[in-house]
Each structure stands twice: as structure tokens, then as C-alpha cells.
Amino acid sequence: MSQTFSTDAQMSTTATSLVTTTNTAIIQTNFLRGPFLNCKVCVRGVALITIGTGATSVQVKVSRNPSAENLILNPVVQSFTVTAGNTIAIPFFFTDQVPDGRDCQYLLFIQQVAATGNGSALAGTYIEAQVISG
């Protein structure tokens, strides 16, 4: 059984504009401390999105330490087919194998594909990260 070392959860309290096809930072965790050696981090949450005009899909990405290494956890980006004007909830789940004891922070990005109008990441969008033994 895994041991939990640290956990953080954040929820947005305001909407964030998704400007046409720009990759937009939405919400991030605080830094989490891992153990001395390696560990795993379970990152999960839900993106609440109102789709902009012309968008055919949205992509959800999570990165580790966006101000430093900026490692995208999902190298095969999740893309979800959408209809403009609709509001949707997209759950996301990732694991991150951290090879050393560094502190880690996680940032959710959302990008619309083929959008000609802005969409929104809504208040209530949520991200959670939990450091467990590796």
C-alpha cells in the first residue's frame, strides 16, 4: 500500500477567458514536497468549460513545475470534440513519476481548437495533486 506524503487542492473562484486558440493557464496547485527519493504524484480534477464560437474540440493539458521544467504530463494530448456555445465538464487524471525528492507544482492548461471566438474556463474548475510513495 502507498503512503501519502502531501496533498493540495485548488478551485478557481472566477472564470478565465479562453482566447480563441491560445493555450491558456487556468489553475495550479501549491508546491508539494516529495520524500527523499522517488515518488508518484496523482493529479486529477475537472475542467468546467463554455465553448467559444467555431471551436471543434478542446485540449486539456497538465504540466509539472511550469516555471521551470514545464514537463507536460500527457504527451498524447487529450482532445475532446465539442459544440460551440455548450458548457461541458471534462474530468482529467494523470500520474507523474518524480525521479527525485524535488518539490512539484502542477498547472492545468486548456486550449480550444479552430475557435474564432473566446470560450471560458468557469469558476469551479478544480485541480488536486497527491504525493504518494513510488
The Cα 13–Cα 19 span in angstroms is 19
Which is higher by pLDDT, 2 or 126? 126
Residue range 82-106: mean pLDDT, rounded: 88
Q: In the chain, where are the structural domains located?
A: 4-133
Kindly report the pTM of this predicted structure: 0.89
Which residue do the cell numbers 468546467 mark? Answer: 48
Indicate the pairing of strand 87-98 with strand 24-28.
unpaired
Considering the domain 4-133 in this protein, what is its CATH number?
2.60.120.760
Condensed to tens digits (0 to 9), the pLDDT of residues 8-53 reads: 999 999 999 999 888 899 999 999 987 777 888 999 999 999 999 9
The Cα 120–Cα 129 span in angstroms is 23
Average pLDDT, the chain: 88
The Cα 33–Cα 9 span in angstroms is 14
Q: What is the DSSP string of the chain?
A: ---EEEEEEEE-SS-EEE-TT--EEEEEPPPB---SS-EEEEEEEEEEEEPPTT--EEEEEEEESTTTT-EES-SS-EEEE--TT-EEEEEEEEEEEESSS--B-EEEEEEEES-SS-EEEPTT-EEEEEEEE-
CB atoms within 10 A of CB 23: 12
Specify whether the CB–CB gap between 117 and 4 falls below 8 A. Answer: no
Residues ≥6 apart with Cβ < 8 Å to 68: none
Question: What was the pLDDT predicted at 48?
Answer: 95
